Amino acid sequence: MRKYPFIIIPIILFSFLAFKTVEQDDRYFQIVKSLDVFTTLFKEVNAYYVEEINPTELMKIGIDAMLSSLDPYTDYIPEDDIEDYRTMTTGEYGGIGAVIEKKGGINTVVMPYKNAPAARSGLLIGDQILKINNIALSGKKAYEISNLLKSQINAQITLEIKRMNRPEVFEISLATEKIVIKNVPYAGLVKAGVGYIKLTDFTTNAGKEVGEALKELTQQGVSKLILDLRGNPGGLLDEAINVSNIFIPKGAEIVSTKGKLEEWTKVYNTKNQSIDAKIPLVVLIDERSASAAEIVAGVVQDYDRGVLVGRKTYGKGLVQQTRPLAYNAQLKVTTAKYYIPSGRCIQAIDYSTKGTTKIADSLKSTFRTSSGRAVLDGGGVDPDILIDPSKFAVVSYRLMQKDLIFNYATKYYFDHDTLASARDFELSEPEFKQFLAWLENQSFDYQTPLEIKLEQALDLAKAGARSEQVHQSIIEVSALLQSEKKKDLIHHEREIKQLLEQDIVSRYFFQEGIIEASFDVDLDILKAVEILEDTKSYDGILKPN
């Protein structure tokens, strides 16, 4: 009787292996069959469709549609887009070094990079680019204009420019260079002893840039630090580990990945001695902090290494790798989920369900930080201190939307040769009145949500054959609202002045000026400083009783 198990086990094992072989064979057959159907369908459409088709474009549409059924991060990168992808991962490209956006339908310089060819050649914020190398830009799409500006290093480019303070169109000639977009566009002092580092990306050398910035700030007497990850979309996993390693000692687990293949299941630890494992730290996060930014924020929280201030992060807990394809194309494919030190995955959406609904709170699990604080998975990283997002008044939003803040800042620049400093600049009351006088000649008008509702109410009253008295009452309320709306510019003067000040400062001090001008009005930064200067509150958050 005892011999039976030795007979049964091989039979069961053989049956299992046979089943797996049949299952794999069926899967391979399904793959070959599907590819054969797709190929023959593509040939038939190309041969018989009533109009001529672009085979490359049609194939890309098919590939994009197929990959979009998986998740938003699995992408096909054709050869033509490889340079843009390299720019995203390395922060480097050949170009003039300026951000260009459409303003009033015209391609306009909104930010030249400091010391780049655009800035050195005299290109200014607000300059309208009409032609590039004698090619008119009217009607061209953003990627077409980008391709005209990005090229091999030392290529000569001639721009036809229209400038606010010059009636005639003129040309600027410049040579392209290797442009390196910094991960750390600003590092400085918010106040004595409190340093601030803005980290906007996780491309190559992000960890090195943050480390160097911290060392320089320490030499300036900084003993407390704010690391700003707001709006940071993430990037390279290795750089997330490097940035974490600045604050976390050698040998600590930073992140682990789990994928379908064994090669994608790994644990990543810090490799170097930390630069400063004790400096009091506040990390700023918001709903646009994603991927690598969430790893750093999550690591800081899980090890109770610092306090998170702001809003819940995006919730991207997936890892992508690039795979080479034929004809120099690439596939960026999601290969694993990542888990931060507490063991949680902060992925907010389960794409295996083919939906875009975020994971319900009832399905989230509780994990613990090093000191025992409860933290949740399945929905981004929650801040330790929640700051409600600032909301602009409708009048402020419309002023920005119609580029009136932008245009007046350009006008102010041409009317004023210098500005004392970004941090101390404040628009005076007479200067604000000058803005209001200028605005009267700009045909500025806007609709408030209440006005829209009143228009709808009037239409409903007419459709429902309501009395003239009802119609008249709605019209009277609308007229009263119009009268009240004229006071919005005065009522929201402080907010509008702050927007004007930041835009004006950018003309003189570029991106660094915008950041410095925000220090005294940014609620997240003000709260961070408050926490860092209150040792009892800071320790109480990280080490609750």
- Active-site residue 291, yes or no? yes
Beta carbons of 240 and 294 less than 8 angstroms apart: no
Choose the catalytic residue: 316, 377, 382, 503.
316
- Active-site residue 150, yes or no? no
Measured CA to CA, the distance from residue 310 to residue 323 in angstroms comes to 36
Measured CA to CA, the distance from residue 255 to residue 345 in angstroms comes to 10
Choose the catalytic residue: 291, 342, 396, 506.
291
Beta carbons of 98 and 123 less than 8 angstroms apart: yes
Please report where in the chains the tokens 């009533």 appear, as a residue.
50
The residues, any chain, with a CB within 8 Å of residue 341's CB and separated by 6 or more, are 252, 253, 254, 255, 298, 299, 302, 303
Q: Is 45 helix (H, G, I), strand (E, B) or coil?
A: helix
- Residue-wise DSSP of 289-325: --THHHHHHHHHHHTT-SEEEES------EEEEEEE-
Within 10 Å of residue 388's Cβ, how many Cβ atoms? 7
- Active-site residue 68, yes or no? no
Choose the catalytic residue: 302, 382, 384, 522.
302
Instruction: For residue 432, give the amino acid letter.
Output: F
CA neighbor of 285 nearest in space, from 243, 247, 235, 229: 229
The residues, any chain, with a CB within 8 Å of residue 318's CB and separated by 6 or more, are 71, 73, 334, 336, 337, 338, 347
Q: Is 516 helix (H, G, I), strand (E, B) or coil?
A: helix
- Residue-wise DSSP of 347-368: --B-GGGT--PBPPGGG--EEE
Give the catalytic positions in this structure.
291, 302, 316
